[in-house]
Amino acid sequence: MPNDSRGDYSFTFFPPKTSPKAKKRGIFFTVFFSLLIIIQCCYWVIGNAALPIVLGMPFGMFVVVALIVVEFVALLALYFLESSENDQEVM
């Protein structure tokens, strides 16, 4: 038997002492990345063309590269937001 103070087996999305700001950020980034994954699965709906040529790439390839860049920038933002919050907790 697990040593659980609640005595139930419910899902816990955040640790008990998580701040409301961290919860909002976690929910936002979870929804954002979930939508981004769905868009990447269905990118061919908007990127199913060889023309026009954008930045020297066919439009379909440009859509894939643009989605990768958006995902990278979002991960950087999440990393810096969480690292700045961890720095504030240490001080």
Residue type, 38: I
- Beta strand 53-54 with 57-58: parallel, antiparallel or unpaired? antiparallel
Domain boundaries, the chain: 21-90
What pLDDT shows up at residue 1? 46
Provide the pLDDT for residue 32. 92
Q: What is the mean pLDDT of residues 18-33?
A: 88
Positions of E strands within 1-91: 53-54, 57-58
47-85 pLDDT, tens digit each: 777 788 888 988 888 888 999 999 999 999 989 888 876
Please report which confidence band the pLDDT of residue 4 belongs to, taking 50, 70 and 90 as the band edges.
Answer: low
Residue with tokens 């936002």: 28
Check residue 14 and give its pLDDT.
Answer: 82
